[in-house]
Structure 1
Amino acid sequence: MKGAFIMAVKFNLRLCLQLIDRGISLNTISKQYHISKHTSSKTKHRMEVLQFDVSTIDQYSDDELGKLFFPEMYESENIYLAVDYDYVHKELSKPGVNLKLLWKEYCLSAKDGKYPVSYSKYCRGYAQHVERHNYTNHIEHKPGIRTEIDWSGPTMHYMVPSTGELVKVYLFVATLPFSQYSYVEPTKDMKMNTWINCNKHMFEYFGGSTVRIVCDNLKTGVVSHPKEGEIILTDMYSDFGNHYMTAIMPAQVRKPKQKASVEGTVGKIATTIIASLRNVEFHSFEELYQAVREKLDEFNTTPFQKRDGSRKEIFEAVEKQALKPLPEIPFEVCHWFYSRKVQVNCHITYQKNWYSVPYEYVGKSVDLKVSETTLTIYYQNKRINIHKLFPAYIKNKYSTYEQDMPESVKVSEWDDVRIKKWASKIGPLKCTLCQGQLN
């Protein structure tokens, strides 16, 4: 348990330092990433006292950052102030009271060395409290706060003209509960990369991101969601949330009311899009995609029956301004590989190619973050190297930085003499071949 506490604290600390260094206000940090103003204020104070240069943050591991900034927190396990959720539920029934207000009051009440939990954890705790006691949740939807997402149960298909094969197509559905403005994307599968890209395209379609995402407990996004304890997301989905400063909050298993807006939208989308296109024969994925996009525009611009305006009108008039701006650089899908041992030749292997690591890490286990173009190496979340990734068709190649090698290795370069000596140990044919290449 202690490790889980420390990891959460140190991870938020690293992010908090970067946000403060960018000049982002403490209020914005509190709203966008749910790091309490009390915690970010204390972090900023410690930055000034230590005269910490954030440009050097990658030189520090999680352990080193934690001990440097909050040694007393690092050693303590019982550091968080307990939340009285009975009081929270009672107060929420009063006019004008919401979770954000109650969380701020809770943060101000923290004393005697106790620290407040993050806003996202505060909200998750209240949602679990409501479920345990079968209460009615008093929370009303507010603009720009949450996006609810899911896969549609009903699917579509297109026919391959040359074979007559019917290819199944899935629908990713997202909605903003306040305006009911929605996004739908046809996909060829429901794999992790597809799910992440749909999330990215969703925010691009909206033109901004929300404070949190409420999703189903799909295996591609959620590793563990116990009734009690911390939710564990897949590394890639967690990275996505961090990139957009969005808290990802899976709904409780078999609790569809926690994402009622998207559950309702799934049904409406099935009727509006799938049913209306049921007699159309598509001959390519692109044809189907375009037809779905046209029906989506129609869905968003159709006036409400029991509410003034349309989804798009309410979104444009109110909710769009409440969204957070998107980061300048879009999220890049990447995969993590853990506990790769650094070999005695100062390299690690990935897909039968070799990438150098500073020699002082020989024998240690490092983690790899692999995107489409780069391979980044971490030790205790401290970035220690980055390489351009070899294409998949290239094998048995080395990407080596000279500074990664110890002096005893640097002096032994692969010159003509060394190559000939190596070839002679293999055989006369290899010697002849190498001689020809060298000449």
Structure 2
Amino acid sequence: MRKIRDVLRLRLGADLSLDEIARALKVSKGVVAKYLTLAKAADIGWPIRADLDDADLERLLFPRRIKAGPTYIEPDHAQVHQELKRKGVTLQLLWEEYRQSAGDRAYQYTAFCNHYRAFARDLKRSMRQVHKVGEKLFVDYAGPSIPIIDVLTGEVAPASIFVGVLGASSYTFAYATAGQTQVDWLYAMERCLRFMGGVPALVVPDNPKALVVKADRYEPDLPRAVEEFAAHFATVILPARPRKPQDKAKVEVGVQVVERWILAKLRHRQFFSLAEINTAIAELLPDLNQRPFKKLAGNRREAFETLDAPYLSALNPTPYVIADWYKATVNIDYHIEFEGSYYSVPHALVGQKVEIRATRGTLEVIAKGKRVTSHVRSHRRGHYTTRPEHMPAAHRRHAEWTPGRFVHWGESVGQHTGLLVTGLLQTKKHPEQSYRSCLGLMRLARRVGKSRLEAACFRAVQIGAYSYRSVASILDSGLDSQPVTRQVDLKLPDHGNVRGPAYYH
């Protein structure tokens, strides 16, 4: 505005020519002529009225033109953004549909794409990615936790908050767990899939140690239990690239939403169990998913029902059983050791490497990819769990005998054989120490017959010889056929030369 005032002053006040004014103000002659024409059209002379400041002078010299209405029909960019999430939908197809409805007032394809991209740039960072319907479930844990108070001790323990978000619809799930262990992760992910009512093609977590053995940009190494979880639900666990938070930006926003509309609302409440927290979270989830989008039409619930729900795979109705995997070597006694307890495997596997799949209630043994046995899990240290079919034939025959069965066999031979077997079992600290002696008696019965064995046992019982060797000796010497002579109890005479027990004390 200062140059315009100088042009008016030099022309109308000093009566200089256009060339002189242009050289003095260092502008072109055309600019000088233009300013003078605008001033004449606005009826502005020299001197300029004192009440006209620069803003008023600009308004008089350059009146704003009223813009004509748009000649093109603007497409619904929010609808375009949502439609692009559907499988097979492209910008080319959406432009053709838009051109059919707008007719001659439709943008050309290049302008249509440029307008949409300008709209997408104004959305949040996490919304710039076009997520295909039913494709990805992003999962993570929120930073804040909810305290749980122990009613007995008053101690406070933090409960971690798991968050799952579907890519296309942003449908959100939250769940409280005691920690962030592998069991917590897998159990929370199963609850999330049950909540969604289906399974996406990919589950995208971060790189927590509970889910990733070795984080790698190209080939992450997952634990056996995580791979088993993915196989159970027919999906794929694909961790985000290390140090690339943009790969899971969707759940980062979901975590913020959960913190804002769930955790913040629960901050004044006290909880005494995980179940109580999850009940409170479940009551707030519907409101969170029904809150309207700020820049898109509808809400998370409506978007889920329209976009993701129809494309999710069917859920496996069988609950996933979380298992731990270990490696072991079969010992010479055809047992493996796990947490201080021992479990039998087929004796042919002695010395071989096997895998152990341990759940809370069972223990399975896998050899060369094939399950060879399973046991009910024992929590008693030093306890042996043995199946008869795993034992060699000789061991199995030995294991099939019990004290009661030996006594029953002895009594079937005869009264005195039964008495001798009972005596054999009672003379040892543990009955199994007498099993071989009893088996020896059975062999004698097959060799000499039951009647001779009964006669030999009668003689052994009479003389108090409760042993296999005594019975075998009686049979070998033929004493079983001779009568037993009673031993005469001779009383020592009362004589001064005979020393009694007191002498030796």
Q: How many Å separate the matches in 2 of 1:143 and 1:374?
A: 39
Amino acid at match of 1:159: I
Query: Who is 2:283 aligned against?
Result: 294
Query: Cα offset for 1:393?
Result: 4.1
Aligned-pair distance for 1:432? 11
**Alignment pair present for 1:321 and 2:310:** yes
Q: 1:163 offset after TM fit, Å? A: 4.7
Aligned match for 1:408, one of 385, 394, 400: 394
Instruction: Map 1:16-165 onto structure 2 (within 5 A).
Output: 140-161=130-151, 163-165=153-155
Of 234, 238, 247 in structure 1, the residue corresponding to residue 223 of structure 2 is 234
Rounded to whole Å, the distance in 2 between the matches of 1:424 and 1:218 is: 63
Q: Aligned partners of 2:350 and 2:281: how far apart in 1?
A: 53
What is residue 352 of structure 1 aligned with on the other side? Answer: 340
Q: 1:385 Cα deviation (Å)?
A: 1.9
In 2: Cα distance, 1:397 partner to 1:360 partner: 18
How far did 1:369 drift?
0.6
The whole-number CA distance in structure 2 between the counterparts of 1:426 and 1:191 is: 54
SS in structure 2 of the partner of residue 411 of structure 1 = helix
* SS of equivalent residue, structure 1 residue 286: helix
Q: 1:305 to 1:427 in 2, by over 3 A?
A: farther
Q: Is structure 2 residue 319 aligned with structure 1 residue 333?
A: no
How far apart are residue 431 of structure 1 and its match?
5.4
Post-superposition offset of 1:324: 0.6
Alignment counterpart, residue 366 of structure 2, candidates 375, 378, 381:
378
**Aligned partners of 1:341 and 1:348 also within 8 Å:** yes
Number of positions where the alignment pairs a residue of Structure 1 with one of Structure 2: 300
Paired letter, 1:398: T
1:216 is matched with which residue: 199, 206, 209? 206
Contact preservation (8 Å) 2:168, 2:307: no
Greater relative contact order (CA < 8 Å, ≥ 6 in sequence): 1
Identity of aligned residues (%): 27
Q: 1:287 is matched by which residue type in structure 2?
A: E
Structure 1 residue identity aligned to 2:213: V
Query: AA paired with 1:405?
Result: M
CA RMSD between the two structures: 3.3
Deviation at 1:414, TM superposition (A): 4.6
1:308 deviates by 1.4
- 2:130 is matched by which residue type in structure 1? E
Residue type matched to 1:358 in 2?
P
Equivalent residue for 1:68? none
Contact kept, 8 Å, 1:351 with 1:395, in 2: the verdict is no
AA aligned to 1:213 is: V
1:207 to 197, 208, 212: 197
Looking at structure 2, the residues matched to 260 and 382 of structure 1 have their Cα atoms a distance apart, in angstroms, of: 41
Superposed displacement of residue 231, structure 1: 1.3
SS at match of 1:168: strand
Structure having the higher Rg = 2
Q: CA separation of 1:354/1:426 partners in 2, compared to 1, >3 Å: closer, same or farther?
A: farther
Give 2:135's aligned amino acid.
I
Correspondence for 2:171 = 181
Structure 1's 424 and 269: CA in aligned 2 closer, same or farther, altered over 3 A?
farther
Residue 356 and residue 426 in structure 1: after superposition, are their counterparts in 2 closer, same or farther (change >3 A)? Answer: farther
Normalised to the residue count of structure 2, the TM-score between the two structures is 0.54
- Give the corresponding residue for 2:255: 266
Aligned-partner Cα distance in 1 for 2:281–2:197: 20
CA distance in 2, matches of 1:319, 1:385: 42
Over 3 Å counting, the alpha-carbon distance change for 1:349 and 1:160 in structure 2 is closer
Matched, 1:251 2:237: no
Q: Deviations over 1:185-234 (max 9, x none)?
A: 01121111111100111101111111111101001000012245x21111
**Letter in structure 2 aligned against 1:235:** R
SS class of match (2:363): strand
State how far apart, in whole Å, the 1-side matches of 2:360 and 2:194 are.
Answer: 21
Q: Write the letter of the residue equivalent to 1:408.
A: A
Judged with a 3 Å threshold, the aligned counterparts in structure 2 of structure 1 residues 252 and 426 are, in CA distance, closer, same or farther, namely farther
Taking the aligned partners of 1:224 and 1:258, their CA distance within structure 2 comes to: 18
Render the CA deviation track for 1:373-417: whole Å, top value 9, x for unaligned: 221111222222222323x24751323141x23333333335247
Residue in 2 that maps onto 1:111: none
Q: 1:426 to 1:154 in 2, by over 3 A?
A: farther
Q: Find the aligned partners of 2:316 and 2:334 in 1 and give their Cα distance.
A: 36
CA contact (8 A) 1:424 1:430 kept: no
Deviation string 1:31-74 (CA, Å, 9 cap, x unpaired) is: xxxxxxxxxxxxxxxxxxxxxxxxxxxxxxxxxxxxxxxxxxxx
Unaligned regions of 5+ residues in structure 2, if any? Answer: 1-87, 94-126, 408-420, 439-505
Q: Deviations 1:71-127 (Å, cap 9, x if unpaired)?
A: xxxxxxxxxxxxxxxxxxxxx9x9679xxxxxxxxxxxxxxxxxxxxxxxxxxxxxx
Task: Indicate if the aligned counterparts of 2:341 and 2:380 stay in contact, CA closer than 8 A.
Answer: no
AA of the residue aligned to 1:410: R
Q: 2:385 aligns with which of 374, 398, 415?
A: 398
Cα distance change on mapping 1:209 and 1:383 into 2, 3 Å? same
Q: Structure 1 residues 419 and 196 mapped into 2: Cα distance closer, same or farther (>3 Å)?
A: farther
Q: Distance in 2 between the 1:241 and 1:178 partners?
A: 21
In structure 2, what residue type is equivalent to 1:216? Answer: D
Distance across 2 between alignment mates of 1:432 and 1:142 = 69
AA aligned to 1:183 is F
TM-score using structure 1 length: 0.62
Whole-Å Cα distance in 2 between the matches of residues 194 and 245 of structure 1?
Answer: 20
* Alpha-carbon separation, structure 2, partners of 1:386 and 1:140: 47
Q: CA deviation at 1:164?
A: 4.2
Name the SS of the counterpart of 1:309 in structure 2. Answer: coil
Aligned counterparts of 1:409 and 1:268: Cα–Cα separation in 2 = 65
**Contact 1:146–1:176 under 8 Å retained in 2:** yes
1:169–1:186 CA contact under 8 A, matched in 2: yes
List gaps (5 residues or longer) in structure 1: 1-91, 98-136
